[in-house]
Amino acid sequence: MIWRFGLFDSTFEPLATTHWALLTALCLPLLMGLLAALFPPKRVWPVLLAGAPIVAAGVMLLLAFNDAGLLRWQWAVADIHLSLRLNGLSVLLLLTTQWIGFAAALYTPGYLRLSDPGPMARWLWPLMGTLISALSLMWLATDLLTLYVALELMGLAAVGMLLLSGKAPALKAGMRYLLLALVGSLAYLLGVALILGHWGRLDLQGLAETIEPGPVAWFAAALMGAGLALKAALFPLHAWLSPVHENAWTPVSALHAGLVIKASLFMLVLLWSILLPDAFYASRVIAWLGMLAIVWGGLLAWRTDSLKTLVASSTVAQLGYLMVIFPLLLGADVAPLPRALAWEGFWLQLMGHAFAKAAMFMAAGNLILATGESTLKGLAGTSRRLPLSLLVFGIAAITLMGLPPSAGFTAKWLLFEAMIITQQWWAVAALLVGTLLTAAYIFRMFRYSFDESAPRQRYQPLAPGMDLIALTLALAAFALGLLAHFPLELMQGGGV
């Protein structure tokens, strides 16, 4: 299992240019963010200039991986050995992060210009940069300490971004999130301490070889799992999510729902596959909670009157899909074929959802910005006046519903195959129910938008690129479905 994460020794030395690409990908977002705090960009083109080298570095890393396979960097600082590795999965997640981050950054100037954000707006940039850097670090990290640093940096940046809007409810929700995130970190840190105390090492590869199942491993896994589940808003620890998004700025929501909560989930899968290599009950528990999440999140989204709550609750439900797959990813009793299918389906679903949810938050933000209303009822008449925003919402929604030809569909296809082969019919049922529930709340929203009985007369015009950026993300989720073969090929073998 652990080899899928690329945690083994590689034979190739990275080239000099690859070192630079790595450095660029990790540090440049942070630097550019700080620069933008000093000189806040008012237009799109400076953001474009700043983002281009970061994205280029990501592409270079992809090419380097294609040439050489798994890449490893190692340093020894004093007594501690630090290392980073780049395998197929980390390349994919890195690219996803960079593209969504880039899109969110491009979206931001127009959004800030139109929404009158107040004096704190300039601090959005360094926080965004920190977030991207932290996430990139997380995909590459190979030891528990680096992972912790990345997690903490990411968490603080995320809380900071959510607090920026400065409204009273935002502060309240943000403080709650901060406290919960700190509790989550603490639980994680306790787990790390337990492992360090018992086995005396923190590098994942070494741990995977030395850890033997037993109460210590289980307890550490439980602690880390609880902490990460809290941060990932996994059901039933999701209650903080909707209020946070309700008041956050659109690009912040897009980044948060697209990437931040996925990062915690990534770590959960990574750590549990080391600590609980033949877990039976733990993964079952997660799966059952996932099923509840699908139903509960779907119902929340279906009942709500607020557009942003709808999108945020949908995240809770969609995370349920990923949780339902846990027994296939972690169980010891799974045959190689379904496990491979589930593995590919899991990450495809995760990436597709990241793109689609970011696009959907942007589309929802555009609708709210243009109509000045944040309720579903306020959408009446928008189908005539804001067709592009609605189209983006719709295309993103197709991925979430898992209808063809989107990434959600292809992922669901793979997952179904895996579940049918292993005869996990309850999981099949959960996914089917989830599809219908998603359709129910998505089309409820569209129903309001097609209502012509009370059309509004005044709309705030949007900046020209805002819809197009969101459209690009939504279409990326589409393309990921039809061309899934290429990204999934990268992951086969975990890096060789």
Partner 1 sequence: MTAAWLPITALAIALLVTVIIFALPEESRRLRTTINLLAAVVNIVLVTLMVRRVAAGYEDVFSFQVVGGVDFVLRTDALGVMFAGLSSLLWLCTTIYAIGYLEGSANRKRFFGFFSLCVASTIGIALADNLFTFLIFYEMLTLSTYPLVVHRGTEQALNAGRVYLRYTLTAGVVLLLGAVLLYSLTGDQSFSSEEGLGDYLNDHRGLLTLIFALLVGGFAVKAAMVPLHGWLPRAMVAPAPVSALLHAVAVVKAGAFGILRVVYDLYGIELSVELGVITALAVAASITIIYGSLRALAQEELKPRLAFSTISQVSYVILGIGLFGPFGTIGALAHLLHQGLMKVTLFFCAGNYAEELGIHRIDEMDGAGKRMPLTSIAFTIGALGMIGLPPVAGFITKWYLGIGAIQAEMYWVVAVLVASSTLNAMYFLPIVHRLWFRLGPSHGKGSWPDEQRLGRFETHGWLLLPMVFTALISLAAGLLAGLPFSPLDWATRVANGEYLL
- For residue 71, list its beta bridge partners: 86
436 is an interface residue for partner 1 by CB under 8 A:
yes
377 is an interface residue for partner 1 by CB under 8 A:
no
Binding to partner 1 in span 383-402, by CB under 8 A: 383-384, 387, 391, 394, 398
Q: What is the dihedral of CA 91, 269, 175, 114, to 10 degrees?
A: 30
Strand locations in 171-232 (E): none
SS3 state at 456:
coil
Minimum CB distance to partner 1 smaller for 35 or for 439: 439
4 is an interface residue for partner 1 by CB under 8 A:
no
Supply the minimum distance, in Å, between the C-beta of residue 443 and partner 1. 6
426 is an interface residue for partner 1 by CB under 8 A:
no
468 is an interface residue for partner 1 by CB under 8 A:
no
- Exposure string of 157-175, with b = 16+ CB inside 10 Å and e = fewer, is bbbbbbbbbeeeebeebbe
Contact partners, residue 344, CB within 8 Å, separation at least 6:
414, 488, 491
The only residue of 49, 120, 335, 482 in contact with partner 1, by rule CB under 8 A: 482
Minimum CB distance to partner 1 smaller for 162 or for 401: 401
In Å, how far are 76, 360, 420 from 406, measured between CA atoms? 44, 14, 21
Supply the minimum distance, in Å, between the C-beta of residue 384 and partner 1. 6
Rg (CA), the chain: 21
The only residue of 289, 488, 490, 491 in contact with partner 1, by rule CB under 8 A: 488
User: Can you tell me the distance from the alpha carbon of 418 to that of 36, in angstroms, rounded to the nearest whole number?
Assistant: 46
The only residue of 334, 484, 490, 491 in contact with partner 1, by rule CB under 8 A: 484
Supply the minimum distance, in Å, between the C-beta of residue 411 and partner 1. 9
Contact partners, residue 420, CB within 8 Å, separation at least 6:
428
Supply the minimum distance, in Å, between the C-beta of residue 467 and partner 1. 12
Minimum CB distance to partner 1 smaller for 16 or for 454: 454
479 is an interface residue for partner 1 by CB under 8 A:
no
Cβ pair 221, 276 in contact under 8 A:
yes
Cβ pair 100, 58 in contact under 8 A:
no
The only residue of 306, 410, 424, 472 in contact with partner 1, by rule CB under 8 A: 410
DSSP 141: B
218 is an interface residue for partner 1 by CB under 8 A:
no
Supply the minimum distance, in Å, between the C-beta of residue 484 and partner 1. 5
Percent helix, strand and coil across the chain, each to the nearest 5: 80, 5, 20
DSSP 84: E
The only residue of 421, 459, 465, 479 in contact with partner 1, by rule CB under 8 A: 421
Binding site for partner 1 (CB under 8 A): 344, 383-384, 387, 391, 394, 398, 403-405, 409-410, 412-414, 416-417, 420-421, 428, 432, 435-436, 439, 443, 446-447, 450-453, 481-485, 488
